[in-house]
């Protein structure tokens, strides 16, 4: 096998088939960008779950003077509060920590969150219920807490904050599935395009290949230029896709989204950079695979 010969053939082939080469590069770039985006979205969902589930607590709101729940008979009493606290503490190790937040504490927090907003003027400390905030070992064990204290006197409601986020994660997961579906469709298009490009190239060079077979060139010598042609296009496409994803991380996420959405943990550079080799591998595998398959059909042994 001669390096100079093969590289010359590849260059000539790419040039001769310029429009096809361009189409192939763009198709690979788009499909790999989408593919990478889908994978990063999944990483994003995983990361947010880890981040939020760590912070999320179960809130047990206690009765206030206007509570209507059937477990409430006016504001929670001292005894009721102690009983609830004892019950929660007794649920260790499921319950890891119990904080008590009085109406006054809740009002302080509320003030912080809505500083400068006119809503503050309409809210008084006793409008905000006192509560227990409970950290649990595993979000899945929420039901255990709800059934233990949910019906106790003095408990107005038990709220799993995780439920609120679940909806948000569903949207992200849906988005990820959608991106993945388009990516797969585009990868399919790419495979078709590789096959067609190689078929056209093999036809354009049928004189050369027939002479090669006649004089006893190895199959690898005959096929390698075609395969490398497809792989070269795929590598250029993968490079464009990688640059696109790096740009999305550096600009869209780091510059635009992250400063405004400080409560969200975004995918980090390690995750992004670890993804890129897989894009290249996918590009190589698809182009080499599809072209070998095509050559097996269009070039006789």
Partner 1 sequence: MIRFDQVTKQYPNSAAPALDDVTLEIADGEFVFLVGSSGSGKSSLIRLVLKEDTATSGTVEVDGVNIGELANREVPEFRRGMGVVFQDFRLLPNRTVYENIQFALEVIGAPDDEIEKRIPAVLELVGLDGKEHRFPNELSGGEQQRVALARAVVNRPKLLLCDEPTGNLDPTTSLGIMKLLDRINRTGTTIVMATHDHAMVDEMRKRTVEIANGRIIRDEQSGSYKMGDI
- Closer residue to partner 1 (CB): 16 or 47: 16
Q: Which of 269, 249, 229 is nearest to 28 (CA)?
A: 229
Can you read off the two tokens belonging to residue 58?
């179960």
Residue 40: which residues within 8 A CB-CB, separation 6 or more?
Answer: 245, 267, 271, 272, 275
- Provide the minimum distance between the beta carbon of 49 and partner 1 in the complex, in angstroms, as a whole number: 53
Residue 221 touches partner 1, criterion: CB under 8 A = yes
Rg (CA), the chain: 31
Contact between 164 and partner 1 per CB under 8 A: no
Helix axis angle for 206-215 and 219-247, nearest 10°, is: 130
Candidates 90, 93, 116, 216; binder of partner 1 (CB under 8 A) is 216
Q: How many residues bind partner 1 (CB under 8 A)?
A: 18
C-alpha–C-alpha distance, residues 37 and 271, integer Å: 12
User: Per CB under 8 A, does 66 bind partner 1?
Assistant: no
Q: Residue 69 to residues 95, 130, 300: CA-CA distances in angstroms?
A: 24, 15, 81
Is residue 211 at the binding interface for partner 1, with CB under 8 A as the rule? yes
Question: Under the criterion CB under 8 A, does residue 212 sit at the interface with partner 1?
Answer: yes
Calculate the CA 215 to chain-centre distance: 53
Q: Which residue lies nearer to partner 1 by CB, 38 or 295?
A: 295
Phi, psi for 101 (deg, rounded to 5): -120, 115
Q: Does 1 bind partner 1 (CB under 8 A)?
A: yes
Report in angstroms how near the CB of residue 241 gets to partner 1 at its nearest.
34
Residues 6+ apart with CB under 8 A from 88: 60, 95, 98, 132, 134, 145, 148, 149
Q: Does residue 15 bind partner 1 (CB under 8 A)?
A: no
213 contacts partner 1 (rule: CB under 8 A): yes
Question: Under the criterion CB under 8 A, does residue 215 sit at the interface with partner 1?
Answer: yes
CB of 207 to partner 1, least distance (A): 6
Q: Does residue number 124 form part of the binding site for partner 1 (CB under 8 A)?
A: no
CA atoms 279, 282, 285, 287: torsion sign: negative
Instruction: Give the interface segment with partner 1, choosing from 1-9, 175-183, 185-193, 278-286 (CB under 8 A).
Output: 1-9
Q: Does 298 bind partner 1 (CB under 8 A)?
A: no
In the complex, minimum distance from the CB of residue 242 to partner 1, in angstroms, rounded to a whole number: 35
Residues in 180-209 that interact with partner 1 by CB under 8 A: 207-208
- Distance from C-alpha of 18 to C-alpha of 223, rounded to nearest angstrom: 19
Among 96, 170, 210, 268, binds partner 1 (CB under 8 A): 210
The window from 28-36, 132-140, 218-226, 271-279 that contacts partner 1 (CB under 8 A) reads 218-226
CA distance 241 to 188: 17
Binding residues (CB under 8 A) for partner 1: these are 1-2, 5, 207-208, 210-219, 221-222, 301
């Amino acid at each position: 096998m001669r390096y100079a010969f093969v590289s010359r053939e590849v260059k000539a082939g790419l040039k001769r088939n310029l429009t096809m080469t361009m189409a192939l590069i763009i198709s690979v770039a788009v499909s790999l960008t989408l593919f990478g985006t889908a994978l990063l979205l999944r990483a994003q969902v995983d990361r947010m779950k880890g981040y939020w589930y760590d912070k999320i607590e179960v809130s047990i709101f206690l009765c206030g003077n206007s509570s209507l729940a059937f477990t409430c008979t006016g504001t929670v009493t001292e005894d009721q509060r102690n009983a609830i606290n004892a019950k929660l503490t007794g649920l260790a190790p499921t319950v890891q920590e119990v904080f008590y937040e009085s109406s006054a504490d809740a009002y302080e927090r509320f003030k912080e969150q809505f500083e400068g907003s006119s809503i503050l003027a309409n809210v008084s400390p006793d409008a905000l219920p006192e509560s227990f905030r409970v950290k649990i070992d595993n979000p899945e064990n929420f039901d255990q807490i709800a059934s233990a204290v949910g019906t106790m006197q003095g408990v107005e409601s038990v709220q799993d904050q995780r439920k609120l986020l679940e909806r948000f994660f569903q949207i992200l997961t849906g988005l990820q599935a959608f991106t993945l579906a388009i990516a797969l469709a585009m990868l399919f298009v790419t495979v078709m395009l590789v096959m067609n490009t190689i078929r056209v190239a093999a036809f354009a060079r049928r004189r050369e290949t027939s002479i090669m077979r006649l004089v006893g060139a190895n199959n690898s010598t005959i096929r390698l230029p075609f395969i490398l042609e497809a792989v070269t296009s795929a590598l250029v496409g993968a490079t464009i896709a990688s640059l696109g994803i790096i740009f999305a991380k550096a600009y869209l996420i780091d510059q635009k989204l992250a400063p405004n959405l400080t409560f969200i943990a975004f995918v980090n550079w390690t995750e992004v950079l670890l993804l890129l080799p897989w894009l290249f591998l996918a590009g190589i595998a698809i182009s080499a695979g599809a072209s070998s398959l095509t050559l097996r059909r269009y070039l006789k042994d």
